[in-house]
A and B are shown apart, each in its own frame.
Chain A
Amino acid sequence: MTSTFKEDSLHRVKIGAKEVLVTEEEPLLPQLERSGLVLEYQCREGYCSSCALKLVWGKVYYPEEPMAWVQGGHVLSCCAYAKSDIEIASL
């Protein structure tokens, strides 16, 4: 995507038919929720694995390694931060 965004601070998240802009300041889950999406969660701190989504493409990072096991191709939305534009899908 060509834009004047600071590449490393603001990213587009494609999820289904929707697109949401997110910052790198907060994990994905609360930002996606504020856009009106209803997503699965329990602990919101990385140990229950219920907020897992499919990461179709793009980069995310975890400032701290989450306690839950993260399957290949999955992302834990409560503790993952977007690192690039990404596409995610529900499980």
Chain B
Amino acid sequence: MSYSTFNRKQFDSLQEPMFFGENVNVARYDQQKHPIFEKLIEKQLSFFWRPEEVDLSTDRKDYLKLEPHEQHIFLSNLKYQTLLDSVQGRSPNVALLPIVSLPELETWIETWSFSETIHSRSYTHIIRNIVNDPSKVFDDIVVNEEITKRADSVSRYYDELIEKVSLYNTLGLGKHHVPGKGEVDVTLRSLKRTLYLTIASVNVLEAIRFYVSFACSFAFAERTLMEGNAKIIKLIARDEALHLNGTQHMLNLMASGRDDPEMAEVAQECRDDVIRIFVEAAQQERDWASYLFKDGSMIGLNAQILSQYVEYITNIRMQAIGLEPQFATKNNPIPWINAWLVSDNVQVAPQEAEISSYLVGQIDNDLDEADFDDFDL
């Protein structure tokens, strides 16, 4: 079943599953099987921004004044972010476009991936501004052992899906002899399993790994350092919140069986594997935290606090896709992160703001019903 860039068959795309149905033909957005992807496209387009709009001249001065171990934290974090967005700027397209079957989802994937290329371009903008030789930073990403270890875990599922789908698209379903691999059995079931695990690992990448890196970026800004960088990361975080919405929807729609009944079985079968993907990623992020802070921590953030945040955010993300939380951490150890993550266009209620109405606010726990009886409006 080879891919066609314009499927000549006549079919009702509202009846197609998200993946592994017909190749999309007409790019039409007047109707959607899953309106969420159309909403995500609109929202992502409204978020468009350019890295050059953010001035980084003070960041350069700040960077030069950082302690060496703080420079290590800052640059390593930036390298990790560069790696993650290098993967995200291409992989949704390469892995998912050949198998997508809904026009709104196809365009969401392209819009999503395109926004990641903005993120990548913003790292170049940052690195150019703070160091004299950007190549020293970029070149290290493919040789630094700590980073390449991470590259392996973030690209593994994508690569496996891409390999299987290319066999499927060239040779079709069935047993095939693949040089160097032996006999490979390409079934729709195994393709769907690999797809489900891939989407789960992408959700981990964007909803957990990225947030751990955001915490490091904002920890500098909490000390009024590297604030231009923080502005850029804020814009990236706003985009990532949309991206994780997309993968959460894909996973939840698949598990619900509302999109493709077989996918609900696949989701059930893969449940333990998905839990393992989340737990392993959390462990990798904790290991990464130890590497970041190996030469010393910074005010407000150290390996232990960052590891607790990893556990906390992993619990939240697991529950968003209907999985049981796996860690004991119940509270956000760095609650200040949310004030950085929130978009500038949204008003945040100040914690200790004066309560304008006596009706609204905290009630003493020991008030009983009777205390309210003379409360007349």
Report which A residues bind B (CB closer than 8 A): 1-6, 9-10, 12, 17-23, 29-31, 33-36, 38, 40-45, 47-50, 52, 67-69, 71, 74, 90-91
B131 to chain A minimum Cβ distance, whole angstroms, is: 30
Specify the chain B residue showing the minimal Cβ separation from A33.
B349
CB neighbours (8 Å) of A42 from chain B are 237, 241, 338, 341-342
Q: Does the CB pair B377–A68 fall under 8 Å?
A: no
Chain B residues, Cβ within 8 Å of A17: 365
> Is B369 touching A3 in the complex (CB atoms < 8 A)?
yes
The CB with the most chain A CB atoms within 10 A, among B43, B315, B361, is that of: B361
Q: Which residue of A lies closest to B361 (CB)?
A: A35
- How many angstroms between the C-alpha atoms of A91 and B357 in the bound complex? 29
Contacts of A40 in B (CB 8 A): 316, 332, 338
Residue B362 lies at the interface, judged by CB distance under 8 Å to chain A? yes
6 residue pairs of the A-B complex, CB under 8 angstroms, read A1-B369, A4-B373, A29-B349, A34-B355, A42-B341, A44-B343
Which residues of the partner chain A approach B248 to less than 8 Å between Cβ atoms? 49, 68-69
Cα distance A6–B252 in the bound complex, in angstroms: 38
Chain B, residues 224-258, CB within 8 Å of chain A (1/0): the string is 00000000000001100110110011001000000
Q: Closest chain A residue to B338 by CB distance? A: A41
Alpha-carbon distance between A48 and B360 when the two chains are bound, in angstroms: 27
| Smallest beta-carbon distance B313→chain A, Å | 9
- Contact yes or no, A68 B362, CB < 8 A: no
Residues B241 and A71 in contact, CB atoms below 8 Å apart: no
Q: Which residue of B lies closest to A19 (CB)?
A: B363
Distance A33 CA – B352 CA, assembled complex (angstroms): 8
The residues of A that contact B316 with a CB separation of less than 8 Å are 40, 50, 52, 91
Q: Please, which residues of chain B bring their CB within 8 A of the CB of A22?
A: 360
Q: A residues within 8 A CB of B325?
A: 91
Check if B68 is an interface residue, CB within 8 A of chain A.
no
Check A18 against B341 for contact (C-beta < 8 Å).
Answer: no
